Structure 1
Amino acid sequence: MSGTQASTVVALPQEIWWLVSQEFTSRRDFLSLFNLARVNRSMAKLALPLLYSIHELSPASTGDTAIVDTKKWAVLWRSILASSLGGAMYSYCLWIKSLSLGNLHSLLEDLARDQYKDIRTWFFGAPLERFHILQSRASNVATRRNRALMDIESIIFEVANQITDFIKTSATEHDKTVGLTSLEGYHLPTARLPRWVSRLSLLTSLAVRDGSVLNSTIAEAIRENCPHFRELVCHYCVGPDVDDDLAGFLSSLSPNTLQSFTIMSANRVGAITHAALGRHSSSLSQLSLYVEDSAVAGLPFLSDCTNLVDLTLDVCGTVPPLWEQTHKEEVRQIASWLQQCTSLKKLSVINLPSTLSILAEVLKVPGIRLTDLEITMQTIQEDTSAFSSAMATQSDLKTFIFRSRDGWFGGSEFIHAICQCTKLRKLDIVTQMLKIGDFYKVTDTMKDVEEFAFDIDSDEPIGDECVYALGTMHQLKTLTINATTAFTYQGLLALFENLGSDPLGSHQGLSIHIMRQVGTQKFSQAQVKKLNAALSKQLGGKMEITYDADPDELNESDFSD
């Protein structure tokens, strides 16, 4: 920052910069807060607490493993740890809102490598020597340099214990509330979790790698010490007793306090956990479940959870064919449950048996007005007309994503239903083979779509005539074309010029992905460069293009043969 800029900063009232800092924080803008903190000591005192409150968004934490990023990442964590020992200028660890132990775990994995040995030595220098815990001789695996390996899990446990204890002690001494609201980690042990959460009175969110570590004892610690707890995320839940243990956790929380529950992948959760979620039926508004094939029949046990606003049912792709034929009652009960969810706004169903027949019943309920609908199916073996008719009533939809392997669905009835949803801003039907007439109907009707992904069923590659149709979409910002195309250089330039002439700038930042341009219509490198330059100049956008039967690649394969 120049001297003139710094003077301007000083000249403005502190209250203004406080509001600016708050805005940067609400936007999760780590870099702007970082730059503000570097201006002077006064600005540092203003910006640093807010910066550390979103420390997990640091580019060093979210970037790749380049050494420069790892060093910045290490600086961030070292400052947090040193402050918990009283060895830093500021009490950084009192400012963090999220204790992301999984983030620290990734850093330690980097530091364990020989290429980062200098950073490792610096990181564990005074006053952090106590955290440099090595594996015991019995468990240690010898390295080529006979160097003892770091015991990452023990380091994580020591860090979590130190930080949570320091935060709790500081809050008690100064008669303040604990600021940390979120705890996340790869390996949060059952034996230690009750002590850690009991120190975090404002804990609202817990994210664990393996949900099998959760049980009623941990929930009781949360119930007694964390009155604001409302969100649980499990990456997976494995183990023979996980359904009982997780149900025990949910049942031991204060009733109707959990608002958000997520299981991302493989699990052994079923009807017992589904039924236990009913204890939070009044509060639960967000539910995202990866459902194993053995647990699909247990979905009706969720029937008490009817206040959902955001629901994802991601069913394992190994459900037996014709499952719905032998489970007709369960299909009926799932449909009946979803029909009662009249607060639902966002719905995502992936590989759910009888998806179309269930949604045909759900979408026609007058009280259900979705804003987001995502459907993924392996194959389509059902009548599509009832679904299309029901979907046509969902005129509040802003996002619609439809994926299936069949490549063609519903014909003109389906397109007619889409065109009734005039509030759509994102339309992704990239796996569907539209008839050319249906494509023109969509572009002519859906003028306000901002993100559009499509395919076209045509004997011949589509050309510049489709470019002109796309140019009439007034709000277009992201375009993905999976159809076989034969666009010309001049045609694309005309599209950019047309969109760039919009006086409202509605297409600023336009991103174009042309996925199957015919190899015989391949642009030269100079043309691609000029196209991107024109797109960048006029709209601040970019274009990516790949080719079917790329002649250059075919020639390379000829040489390799």
Structure 2
Amino acid sequence: MSFVLADDVLCMILDILGDERDHHSLFQCALSSRHLAAHSIPVLYKVCHASPVRGGGTEDEQFFNPLKRPPFNASLKRMVDPAVHKWALLWRSLALSSLGHTYLPYCSYLRYLDLDDLGDLLKDPKFSGQIREDFFSSELLDTVSSDYEAKGNKRLRSSAKGPDPSADLVKLRIGSAIVKKATSIRGMSLHVPPETLSEWVAGLPLLQSLTVWSGAALSQHTGAQLRENCPKFKQLTIYSWRDRPPITAEAESEEFLKELSPDTLECFDLISLSQLGPRSVAALGSQLQSLSELKLTSLTIKAIAELPSLKPLPSLRALALVDSVPSPRNESFYAIVSQVAEWIGNCRSLRQLDLRRFVDDPFLLSQTLSKEGLTLTNLSLAKYDMSGSDAFHEALGRQQSLRSLCLSGDPSFVPEDIEILVQALGQLHELRDLDLKDISDGFAQEHVITLTASLPHLECLWISGDFFDDTVLQAFYHLRELRALVIPAFSKFTADGIFDFISHLGPGNTGFSLSILNAVDSTLTEEAQLLISETLKASVDGSFDYGIVPLDDSDSSVPEDGVYW
């Protein structure tokens, strides 16, 4: 007796698979029957930008048989990389559908157009031979190039004509064809000329997010086009924004931000090198009420001084300030830092703060974290010096709402500095993720045992120290929710010690991953390592990584008993 699911139930199931980015299951559904294909293909193409097809991996093992050794007379031209082949077929179907040459309108299902991905495909060394020939069918060649002549049913290159069309040209022409058909696009990632971007944006009424390589792409009144044609636009990511003499990034960014509809931009992320100045920062004030995520890079001290003029951002939840232009640390500098600390502390909706070589970051945080009403859940500080940061560490203990903390930089081996940090961390009882890269290099095993005793909810921990052995493992016995432990310290663990630790794991540790990265003079044989891996897999569906550091026999820094002298 067969049972047929109602269409609405089937759509709900497929939508769940789409939300989970389960490309394999969706693809299998599309292959199973015409009825399922009609429902699954639209969902599959809605999330195709997140497919792991580019890098291969386990999904491709399920789609393709392993490459067999070719016969001695097989043409190398016919040998193809399965992942790249599938990647090319995906883009070919999108391109052909935009030209009306496919049974289903695949491109109309798109919600996110990642033209950077297409560019990566066209420039991949494996995109050659048979894969390239299959991709550039006659229909596509008519769109991207006129350098081919007909011969029977095939299209051949004329020797009298120029080279293959460039990857950038192909990407531009395919992208233009898709944009004209796929008006349902909500997001785009691309690197195209300013005139092209301005034109494309005008035809995408549902556009919400945009990622561009250079802010220069926004220079042809793209802000005005977004205001007039894209009422739901709210997210902008820019990799870099630099001067193009005589045009300055300062002027371009100020113009673009002023062209946007006020209080509509929720996310402004500037990822890499930029040359924005105080006018650019001031222009962000037009988005004062809506900004919830802000990342700024490469600011000068003059631009930094403009941040407090924005006044507290009522909706700001995530703030990242990184890699500022170095400035003399004089009285004026610290006055500006204090003002910025006050401004950050008054953004009461702020939950995530990321700093890296912004100003004197420990000094700034020592003031910011002490502000009443600031309740962070995520904090990251990179590239700082632990020495001289006691005031920051003491203030850190006041942010007891923290669930994720990442500290990295130069460690201190002064006992007083270590004690202050350990004491502060021990007050953060709600921590789930703790990442102490390099900063904890001076920790003794007793410091780790003391620290973890106060952090019962830890799920992920990266911690180093001066030297670890089986003794430190008792620090993790009571962590019933721990799922990932990384120990990069020089260490010497025994199989018995690790098995004893595994015996303390329970249901809350399901999926536990143990990584010991720098074992010295290891007593673990390959057989013991394999047995540990199998035991972890069997007990909590876990995994084990083990790395050995070879030391010269003349190196006396780590004697046989594992104690430093």
Question: TM-score, normalised to structure 2's length?
Answer: 0.85
SS of the counterpart of 1:544? strand
Please give the per-residue CA displacement for 1:413-463, whole angstroms capped at 9, x wherever unaligned: 222221221111001113222243321111212121011111223xxx422
Q: Are the structure 2 counterparts of residues 114 and 337 from structure 1 closer, same or farther at C-alpha, using a change threshold of 3 Å?
A: closer
Report what 2:7 is aligned to.
14
Counting only pairs closer than 5 Å after superposition, residues 415-426 of structure 1 correspond to structure 2 as: 415-426=422-433
Please report how far the alpha carbon of residue 380 of structure 1 lies from its aligned counterpart in structure 2 after TM superposition.
Answer: 4.2
Q: Tell me, yes or no, if structure 1 residue 121 matches structure 2 residue 144.
A: no
Contact 1:189 1:213 in 2 (8 A): yes
Report what 2:318 is aligned to.
310
Give the distance between the partners of 2:554 and 2:26, measured in 1 at CA. 47
Letter in 1 for 2:517: M
Larger mean Cα displacement after TM superposition, 63-72 or 530-539? 63-72
Contact 1:124 1:131 in 2 (8 A): no
SS of the counterpart of 1:483? strand
Give the distance between the partners of 1:454 and 1:496, measured in 2 at CA. 18
Please report how far the alpha carbon of residue 78 of structure 1 lies from its aligned counterpart in structure 2 after TM superposition.
Answer: 1.0
Please report how far the alpha carbon of residue 295 of structure 1 lies from its aligned counterpart in structure 2 after TM superposition.
Answer: 6.2
Please report how far the alpha carbon of residue 349 of structure 1 lies from its aligned counterpart in structure 2 after TM superposition.
Answer: 0.7
Report what 2:94 is aligned to.
80
Give the distance between the partners of 2:517 and 2:310, measured in 1 at CA. 43
Contact 2:282 2:306 in 1 (8 A): no
Please report how far the alpha carbon of residue 127 of structure 1 lies from its aligned counterpart in structure 2 after TM superposition.
Answer: 2.0
Report what 2:155 is aligned to.
none
Counting only pairs closer than 5 Å after superposition, residues 217-236 of structure 1 correspond to structure 2 as: 217-236=221-240
Please report how far the alpha carbon of residue 153 of structure 1 lies from its aligned counterpart in structure 2 after TM superposition.
Answer: 1.5
Q: Tell me, yes or no, if structure 1 residue 252 matches structure 2 residue 253.
A: no
Report what 2:516 is aligned to.
514
Contact 1:430 1:455 in 2 (8 A): yes
Report what 2:350 is aligned to.
344
Report what 1:131 is aligned to.
143
Contact 2:233 2:265 in 1 (8 A): yes
Counting only pairs closer than 5 Å after superposition, residues 49-198 of structure 1 correspond to structure 2 as: 49-63=42-56, 67-110=81-124, 113=125, 116-133=128-145, 148-167=163-182, 178-185=183-190, 187-198=191-202
Give the distance between the partners of 1:104 and 1:351, measured in 2 at CA. 34
Superposed structure 1 runs of 4+ greater than 6 Å apart: 551-554
Report what 1:373 is aligned to.
379
Give the distance between the partners of 2:17 and 2:144, measured in 1 at CA. 35
Q: Tell me, yes or no, if structure 1 residue 327 matches structure 2 residue 342.
A: no
SS of the counterpart of 2:194? coil
How much identity, in percent, do the aligned residues show? Answer: 25
Please give the per-residue CA displacement for 1:323-351, whole angstroms capped at 9, x wherever unaligned: 35551221122112112211000111111
Larger mean Cα displacement after TM superposition, 80-89 or 223-232? 80-89
Please give the per-residue CA displacement for 1:54-85, whole angstroms capped at 9, x wherever unaligned: 11112213448981111101111111111111
Report what 1:212 is aligned to.
216
Corresponding residue to 1:400 among 394, 405, 416: 405
Please give the per-residue CA displacement for 1:118-157, whole angstroms capped at 9, x wherever unaligned: 1111111132122343899xxxxxxxxx982332222222
Contact 1:134 1:151 in 2 (8 A): no
Please give the per-residue CA displacement for 1:169-211, whole angstroms capped at 9, x wherever unaligned: xxxxxxxxx32111111x2211111110010000001110111
Please report how far the alpha carbon of residue 94 of structure 1 lies from its aligned counterpart in structure 2 after TM superposition.
Answer: 0.6
Give the distance between the partners of 1:128 and 1:536, measured in 2 at CA. 49
SS of the counterpart of 1:282? coil
Q: Are the structure 2 counterparts of residues 114 and 509 from structure 1 closer, same or farther at C-alpha, using a change threshold of 3 Å?
A: closer
The gaps in structure 1 that reach 5 residues or longer are 1-6, 137-145, 168-177, 555-561
SS of the counterpart of 2:128? helix
Give the distance between the partners of 2:147 and 2:336, measured in 1 at CA. 51
Give the distance between the partners of 2:338 and 2:127, measured in 1 at CA. 59
Give the distance between the partners of 1:52 and 1:31, measured in 2 at CA. 12
Letter in 2 for 1:434: F
Residues matched between the structures, number: 515
Contact 1:296 1:315 in 2 (8 A): no
Superposition CA RMSD, Å? 2.6
Letter in 1 for 2:295: S
Question: TM-score, normalised to structure 1's length?
Answer: 0.86
SS of the counterpart of 1:11? coil
